Amino acid sequence: MFLPRQELRAIWEDGSDVILDEHVTSTRWTEHRRMVFQYKDGKTYACQYGRGLTEIQEQSPFDDYEDDQVNCKEVQKRTKEITVYE
C-alpha cells in the first residue's frame, strides 16, 4: 500500500496509532528507523524512514523519499521464542 509522506508524518507526530518505532541502523548523519502503525482501515503496516542525527541535518521523518508516496507493507503480530546465553 502506498501512502502520502504527509499522512505518514502526521501518524508519526500524533503517535496514537504507532505500535512500534525502532532503530534499524545509522549512517554518519542519518538514523534509519522502522515504524509499525495501525491504519484507519484496521490493518497494521510497517515502513522505514530516516531522520537527521544533528541539529544541522534538516531531515524530518519521511523527507528522505523522492516520491510523495511511501510503500508500506502490511504486517501481522507474531510471537517468537528466543534463546539467549548470558
What does the pLDDT profile of the chain (86 residues) look like in tens digits?
999 999 999 999 999 999 999 999 998 888 999 999 999 999 999 999 988 887 776 777 887 777 889 999 999 999 999 999 99
Residue 35 main-chain phi, psi, to 5 deg: -115, 130
Please give the pLDDT value at position 28: 87
- Pairing of the two strands 73-74 and 18-26: unpaired
Quote the pTM value: 0.82
Predicted pLDDT of residue 15: 92
- Tell me, what's the pLDDT at 76? 95
Strand positions, DSSP E, the chain: 2-4, 18-26, 30-38, 44-52, 69-71, 73-74
DSSP designation for 67: S
Cβ-count burial 47-62 (b if 16+ within 10 Å, e if not): bbbbbbeeeeeebebb
